[in-house]
Chain A
Amino acid sequence: MNCFEARKEFVSFWRRTLNPARRADFSQHLEHCDRCDRSFRLFALSAPVFHSDREPEVAPRSYSTPPRPRIAVARRPMRRVPAAPAPWRAMAAAVALLMVGGASVWSVQRIPSRNFPDTFAADDLRAAPTAYFPDGAAIENPAEEPALFESIAPDLGQPNEG
């Protein structure tokens, strides 16, 4: 059997439809031909889907499920099992909810009825004129403080009598 013939027989070999003599030839060829042997092994990775008519239910335990290393299990942190909730916890939660709700209602009652845009657009927006002295002091309405103005610049406020 040459390489060309061997490669044509991959499927028949997999499906066990080769006669014994041909099967023996095929095996012998693969034993001596590394390239065909490699190709058959690559073929074997996809053949279970392409060329098998049934799938095994579960893999046999003997060689498909090797023992897992115990150290991995031992090092795994213990998971805490959550305890069942005590009945008083539900009651406490309900009371807490009621208190929070009551506080919310009370605080809402105390807040003026104007909402934010109203407040923003109303008289709060009008800033009172402010005068600043060089030393950093400020007076709210300089027009109402003539005496103060005169105390700063007494000569400027009076007509020249000379």
Chain B
Amino acid sequence: MSAVPAIDRFRRVPAVRTDEELIAEVLAGQTASFAELASRYREKVERLCARFFSDRELVRDLAQESIIRSFAGLSGYRADMPFLGWLRAIVANVCYDELRRRQRRPEDLVADFTVAEHLWVQLVNEVTPEEIVDAAEQRREAHDLAHQLLDSLRPEDRMVMVLKESEDLSVGEIARIMGWSEAKVKIRAFRARQMLRKQAERMLTVKRGRAAR
């Protein structure tokens, strides 16, 4: 039997501090509190970066840069919006800068596919939807090929697609994050969808053509 009464055991559990409390501590000079804040959101930050880039080292670097930028700009954070939303805007802008820096031409898309990627597209063409979902969870090449497909988009289009599809943000939120008008976001989303469909069709057609040979 434990000698510590149940109520005391509950008291010993450290209270979970809110984001706002941690931020207040950091701004008051306790910079160590930022480590807790960073560890709380690191996974989400890396996941968002991974929607833009497949290279894991690069993803870690960009996540790290985003966190450092958020630390440097913490005094500019306003409590009227959630910290995650503010952090997401920083991550999006860091990734956008990197996308623009390494912009690829759309014609590079169907350049070279591995045998595994070829098999993945063949599988997408032939098996049932349930089997496609199952296989995508296990196959690295499904992610690699999806990244190749998204590489065909312009950086602006890709930003809109990721923020809209993956992060489920509204047009207004994307416009605020990117500093664009809502009309521009809508146009970008429309063009991105068209382009994505065209490239996906092209990818499947290429695969069929190669398979037929």
Interface residue ranges, A against B (CB under 8 Å): 11, 13-14, 16, 26-27, 30, 37, 40-42, 44-53, 55-60, 63-66, 68
A45 and B124 form a contact (CB under 8 A): yes
If over half of B's interface residues share one DSSP class (helix, strand or loop), that class is named, otherwise mixed; here it is helix
**A contact residues around B128 at 8 Å (CB):** 27
CB of B127, distance to nearest CB on chain A (Å): 10
Query: A48, B200: Cβ atoms under 8 Å?
Result: no
Count contacts on B: residues with CB < 8 A to the other chain: 38
Least Cβ distance of B207 to chain A in Å? 10
CB distance from A37 to the nearest CB of B (A): 8
- Extra inter-chain contacts (19) besides given A45-B203, A49-B146, A49-B150, CB under 8 Å: A13-B129, A40-B129, A41-B124, A41-B132, A42-B197, A44-B132, A45-B124, A48-B146, A49-B143, A49-B147, A50-B161, A50-B162, A52-B136, A56-B139, A56-B143, A59-B140, A60-B138, A64-B140, A64-B141
Distance in Å: Cβ of B143 to nearest Cβ of chain A: 5
Which chain B residues have a beta carbon within 8 Å of chain A's beta carbons?
47, 50-51, 115-116, 119-121, 124-125, 128-130, 132-133, 136-143, 145-147, 149-150, 161-162, 165-166, 196-197, 200-201, 203-204
**A–B pairs, 28, beta carbons within 8 Å:** A11-B165, A14-B133, A26-B129, A37-B129, A40-B132, A41-B125, A42-B201, A42-B204, A44-B132, A45-B124, A46-B150, A46-B200, A47-B136, A48-B142, A48-B145, A49-B150, A49-B166, A50-B51, A51-B165, A55-B50, A55-B143, A56-B140, A59-B116, A59-B140, A64-B116, A64-B119, A65-B116, A66-B119
